[in-house]
Structure 1
Amino acid sequence: MEYLIALIPALGWGLMPLITGKMGGSEANQIFGIGAGASIVGIIAFLITQPTVSAGAFIFSMVCGALWSTAQIGQFVSFKRMGVSSTIPLSTVFQLVGNSLIGVMIFGEWRGAKALLIGFGALLIVIIGALMTSVSDKKGDSKVTTSNVIFLLATTIGYWIYSSFPKIPYLANQSSEGIFLPEVLGILVGAILYELFTGNAKAFGQKEQYTNILGGISWGIAAFAYIFAARSLGVNVAFIFTQLNVVIATFGGILVLHEHKSSHEMKFTLLGILLIVIGSVATIFA
């Protein structure tokens, strides 16, 4: 049963970009949908589990959730610029590399020469895999441009902060269920502030603002299930399962959202995804 639970995060996070892609709308519509849908899941989960959380941790978690929303907005913009099948592999790599470096430099992970060798070797494999997924037959016609990649990398900083905050000693004694609700409420608050301060208030009257809540529910269920997967199988094993989301989202973008790739590009994408998964798994042994 625990392995079935561990598949939920990969499925939910892999389906989210496909759902929002089908629902359409602007990035403002989509980030609001994620925040609202995830908040619905968070409220239900909070009522069922009834965890305790301090006021300080509640506020701090909300701030981190709001920072996550900035990264997700960048990803939604990138979906439109480069397509889901090109954005997800690159985003996965940026998150993995950034989180790993933060873990090494700030939290003292990968101690010893052997661990560093395995860790950085695995990251190199992941980077090569990402480069392969961006191969295009038509030079100069690829949507994976330097400016688009830099934009995605810059907005990924929000993901790094979000991924790192549970490791902060201030939250060490807080339950995962307790900080889940303020996290997702922070995403919703971040989405609302984004719409108000960027002149997108009209989005509240658009249908896509609310149909994208389905994507948020998918994301929220995945995030909450990961808490239990990590608890029953351990963070390392649970993390391996989450890497399947890049497979679902990438090929879903091609099959469901009809993002075209030639047979030559598809070969490189297949091999690139394989390397990303292998490299991601290998970091666990560092």
Structure 2
Amino acid sequence: MTILLTLIPALAWGILPLAVARINGKPINQIFGTAVGTLIVSLFVVLFLQPNVDLKSFIMAALAGAFWIVGQLGQYSGYKAIGVSQTMPISTGLQLIGTSLIGVILFGEWASTSAKILGFLGIILLIIGSSLTAITDKADLPSGGTAARTKTIIMLILTTIGFLVYNAIPKAMSDSGLAIFFPESVGMIIMVLVYILFTKQPHVLKEKASWQSVIAGFIFSIAAITYILSVKVNGVNLAFVISQLSVVISTLGGMIFLHESKSKRELTFTIIGLILIVGGAITTTVI
């Protein structure tokens, strides 16, 4: 059972991009369906477990959920623009770098000199790994593709701020774990509806692709819930590092199941980059 709890988050988060990419819809359809699916699962959590959470924690968790939508919408847009196998390593690397720096600056992690040295070495590995996975042969790009691809990477960098806030807020809260899962999902659905309202896309609520994407919310919920349980059993460090193996599953899955082609040179750089990202995750976490 312990092994399952450890591996399921990585498996589910690795499958999520593949499931979303197979749905013939726009990022807005996908993010709406994901939020709805997560809310449905969170209601069952509340019904069966009845976790307690105070008003302050509820509001902070809802805010975290709203910021998660920003990050995930950026990721979904990346899948559409440059593919899962390119988006996931870049996005994961950026999240790991940002989360590590926030831990040091705001929460005083890596207190000792040796921890700081190992931590920043891990960040260097993450930067190099993410950069290698982003390498693309110019011959594979359509006319104007370089500019569009650069724009997508900049978008991923900016929207990663949403993931960083989502990860940082729970660290500052007294309540955590399954208790904040429902308020986070409330924040997610509110943020999505606000985005739909401001972008004037009410038709999204009726489209088939939006409701097909509810399965993405179920997959995300499985990953999130089992990750919380894994943290209790294995501790934060081990649970987090193993969960990052999801980037390997989604990247290779994008090439195998979504038929995202890469040249031999691109594939070599991608595999080396993935190894460095996983190595960087281990170095920055288990210190």
Distance 2:24 2:115 in 1: 43
Of residues 167, 175, 178, the one that matches 2:171 is 167
- 8 Å contact kept, 2:37–2:216: yes
Q: What is the DSSP-based 3-state SS (H/G/I as helix, E as strand, rest coil) of the residue aligned with 2:138?
A: coil
Post-superposition, which runs of at least 4 consecutive aligned residues in structure 1 deviate over 4 A? none
Give unpaired runs (5+ residues) of structure 2: none
Q: Describe the superposition over 1:206-260 as per-residue Cα deviations: whole angstroms up to 9, x where unpaired.
A: 1001000111100011101111100110000101110110011101111111111
- 8 Å contact kept, 1:38–1:221: no
CA 1:2–1:265 in structure 2 vs 1: closer, same or farther (change >3 Å)? same
- Two-structure CA RMSD over aligned residues (Å): 1.4
Larger CA deviation: 131-140 vs 242-251 = 131-140
- 8 Å contact kept, 1:9–1:223: yes
- 8 Å contact kept, 1:115–1:285: no
Structure 1 length normalisation: TM-score? Answer: 0.95
Give unpaired runs (5+ residues) of structure 1: none
Report the Cα offset of residue 175 of structure 1: 4.0
Distance 1:132 1:111 in 2: 30
Report the Cα offset of residue 139 of structure 1: 5.9
Paired residue for 1:249? 250
- 8 Å contact kept, 1:17–1:84: yes
Paired residue for 1:91? 91
Q: What is the DSSP-based 3-state SS (H/G/I as helix, E as strand, rest coil) of the residue aligned with 1:106?
A: helix
Paired residue for 2:134? 134
Aligned ranges for residues 169-208 of structure 1 at < 5 Å? Answer: 171-172=173-174, 174-208=175-209
Distance 1:97 1:90 in 2: 11
Report the Cα offset of residue 192 of structure 1: 1.4
Distance 1:88 1:39 in 2: 24
Paired residue for 1:145? 149
Paired residue for 2:36? 36
Aligned ranges for residues 64-75 of structure 1 at < 5 Å? Answer: 64-75=64-75
Report the Cα offset of residue 98 of structure 1: 0.6
Report the Cα offset of residue 65 of structure 1: 0.5
Q: Percent identity?
A: 41
Distance 1:18 1:110 in 2: 35
Structure 2 length normalisation: TM-score? Answer: 0.95
